[in-house]
Structure 1
């Protein structure tokens, strides 16, 4: 009698979800005693995986990056595996029933389905207020680009990396860069203002690095307003459902700012609306064991990885460091459940967050600031590693699974 189908369901189709699927298909499922009964299933709201760090530059024009590398079909990169081993579902999770071990989702066609899982990996990430699927992102960019030539003032909310990178790209694209002996471009064509709630931009980096970033921003006509919080935006749809709308921003100190375009870049929210609050921490992220990456309260063989999980701060390099750990523990748990002796499997693999100062922030096409493992990096090295194409040079191996050919 054939073994019943056992689904390893992965919710999310970005860095964490795609990487986990490749790793399990290469190194976990083939080692299981009843491997024929296991299937890896990705449920993703987007049919394409996107190099999201590239968005501050990619939104300006299609010729900034090769589009076939920027947007890559998820089903296509999994064609290398037998059809019975992998399934892609283009849909959005609507409910996780961890008591009955099932996930309900709405397909892109509009119909609703439910799938049972033997093992579950929550990798839905975090999102901005813009819709994150490929088609919606392209449509937003199209509207923004059409409005850009007429814009004389742009307001960006957020002094973190997303806001600063966006300001730098827009500033250089619209105003050019100042010469050697000028603090600002002689006549900026567009007024660009960044509103920062903190006393300095880039709070994860030391003050001297943040100050250098401000200098580079000044070179492309960007002004920073510090210690300012937005009280209201009118209309409320500006920058979100209507990315091309003019906006009036009221600050908590009573000041008002008008922008022909408004870009909210004040951070992301975890994609956990479909998950019971008992599984979440106060910040809305999945309450995850910081070492094993299991979600113990959800029952056996449930894990969370990436920006949706609580084990580490959101950062791509930490996501990639977590993949071998979570996959090793998934493999171990699956082997235990199949009856293999625990003594032959060794201990759990443990994750430990590297909390050293690490963040790279390009500012336009030729400058950047940052640090890695606690060491300040020169501008040219930030450009070389990230600024030349915002990590696009790294994603080919990730999406194809080549990065995970060897079991780390």
Structure 2
């Protein structure tokens, strides 16, 4: 077990190759490393399970067909985005963190060839995100080829499915139901409140008293109406307590028929079952003493992991400083990078992060409708479509992945 890092280099190690990790890497390479004395002695090392960056919010539409979104924007090569930096400044390591010794400042990484590497770090950013219950909704713990195999297995079963059940009431569940509803059933006419006799029965089951709990009640009600126009039925206050077979909808059983038992004893049969009941932070490699409610306990002002020792930070869905949301990640990037810079220089004032807790969430319902709010203001359906629903943010990702979004220090 050896380190992939040249011994002469001080490693700024970033774990995770998605929104938080990619953005922090660009920001450090543009605005932090160049300002350091002996800058040539530093290297930004990014550890990612995949060589590709995925626009994960697009998965509810992407899982249905390759024809619905631009594939060259959906998955983008990471290494290509970092060719712009001086040789030796950036290193991409394909693998997954399996251990963190924060006292000795070492990270164990299981590489793609199944060997193990021990990497010492001078500074560490934990940005490993969170995994979805269904392998259809993200890279989880494997690369992009595995994700495409999951989509392929689901698509093969889709034409013969007559009953689809989705568990969960958050955006991923509702967006998936809406995309499947429009693709399989079409949309009811202008003057119809629901689609009569849909070709495929699609049911959303949530344990909550309503769907989309982050949004106000009126928007949740509006979302239900849009779903009804696509032939989607919503069952509330009914938790799924048992699934038979137990692995239905999970790895290796994406196309399995399932019998779902609800909390009241009633049952639902599904030709296809999609669990979309939230996410699980990717923290299995982190000492439990550094976690709170499963996430890395992160100082909400500085984004440091105070209990772990100096120059250790966390950002994104894996961290506790704010609720999981892409806009929350992007607003945290300049703050975290500024505090890395302060810590590496050993001088200056901390920059302080303040979470924007105003109602902000956009939820497309099919390919032309949606509900949402931004900074506390309700948005009309057309704007939800224009901003997110037309391509699930793919129009924004080119500048983000390339680092152009971070061209100016902010």
In the alignment, which of 172, 175, 188 is matched to residue 182 of structure 2? 172
Q: Distance in 2 between matches of 1:100 and 1:225?
A: 50
Q: Distance in 1 between matches of 2:97 and 2:225?
A: 44
Q: Distance in 2 between matches of 1:255 and 1:186?
A: 24
Larger CA deviation: 179-188 vs 257-266:
179-188
C-alpha RMSD over aligned residues: 1.1
Q: Distance in 1 between matches of 2:72 and 2:7?
A: 40
Q: Distance in 1 between matches of 2:114 and 2:350?
A: 41
Aligned residue pairs, count: 398
In the alignment, which of 251, 259, 264 is matched to residue 248 of structure 1? 259
What corresponds to 1:288 in structure 2? 298
Shift of 1:82: 2.2
In the alignment, which of 326, 331, 339 is matched to residue 341 of structure 2? 331
Q: Deviations over 1:36-91 (max 9, x none)?
A: 10000000111111000000001110111111110001111111112311100000
Q: Distance in 2 between matches of 1:328 and 1:301?
A: 12
Q: Identify unmatched segments of 5+ residues in structure 1.
A: 337-341
Q: Identify unmatched segments of 5+ residues in structure 2.
A: 1-5
What corresponds to 2:21 in structure 1? 17
Q: Distance in 2 between matches of 1:201 and 1:103?
A: 40
Which runs of structure 2 are paired with 1:265-344 in the superposition (5 Å)? Answer: 265-281=276-292, 283-336=293-346, 342=347
What corresponds to 1:377 in structure 2? 379
Q: Distance in 1 between matches of 2:66 and 2:382?
A: 25
Shift of 1:194: 0.2
1:292 touches 1:350 (CA, 8 Å); kept in 2?
yes
Q: Deviations over 1:179-220 (max 9, x none)?
A: 012222232000000001111110111111100000000000
Structure 1 residues 3 and 232: alpha-carbon distance in aligned structure 2, compared to 1, 3 A threshold: closer
Q: Distance in 2 between matches of 1:185 and 1:252?
A: 28
Secondary structure of the corresponding residue to residue 317 of structure 2: coil
Secondary structure of the corresponding residue to residue 360 of structure 1: strand
In the alignment, which of 351, 363, 366 is matched to residue 364 of structure 1? 366
What corresponds to 2:55 in structure 1? 51
The answer to whether the aligner puts 1:117 opposite 2:118 as a matched pair is no
In the alignment, which of 237, 240, 251 is matched to residue 247 of structure 2? 237
Structure 1 residues 53 and 3: alpha-carbon distance in aligned structure 2, compared to 1, 3 A threshold: closer
What corresponds to 2:218 in structure 1? 208
What corresponds to 1:102 in structure 2? 106
Q: Distance in 1 between matches of 2:7 and 2:53?
A: 33
Secondary structure of the corresponding residue to residue 245 of structure 1: coil
Give the TM-score normalised by structure 2: 0.96
The answer to whether the aligner puts 1:197 opposite 2:197 as a matched pair is no
Shift of 1:3: 9.3
What corresponds to 2:389 in structure 1? 387
Shift of 1:401: 0.4
What corresponds to 1:181 in structure 2? 191
Q: Distance in 2 between matches of 1:361 and 1:221?
A: 18
What corresponds to 1:79 in structure 2? 83
What corresponds to 2:3 in structure 1? none
Q: Distance in 1 between matches of 2:397 and 2:205?
A: 31
Q: Distance in 2 between matches of 1:106 and 1:210?
A: 42
Q: Distance in 1 between matches of 2:212 and 2:294?
A: 23
Give the TM-score normalised by structure 1: 0.96
Q: Distance in 2 between matches of 1:246 and 1:108?
A: 33
1:3 touches 1:37 (CA, 8 Å); kept in 2?
no
In the alignment, which of 262, 270, 295 is matched to residue 259 of structure 1? 270
Q: Distance in 2 between matches of 1:11 and 1:73?
A: 17
1:195 touches 1:226 (CA, 8 Å); kept in 2?
yes
What corresponds to 1:30 in structure 2? 34
Shift of 1:305: 0.5
Shift of 1:391: 0.6
Larger CA deviation: 123-132 vs 138-147:
123-132
What corresponds to 1:153 in structure 2? 163
In the alignment, which of 103, 122, 130 is matched to residue 126 of structure 1? 130
Secondary structure of the corresponding residue to residue 314 of structure 1: coil
Shift of 1:174: 0.3
What corresponds to 1:339 in structure 2? none
1:27 touches 1:407 (CA, 8 Å); kept in 2?
yes
What corresponds to 2:409 in structure 1? 407
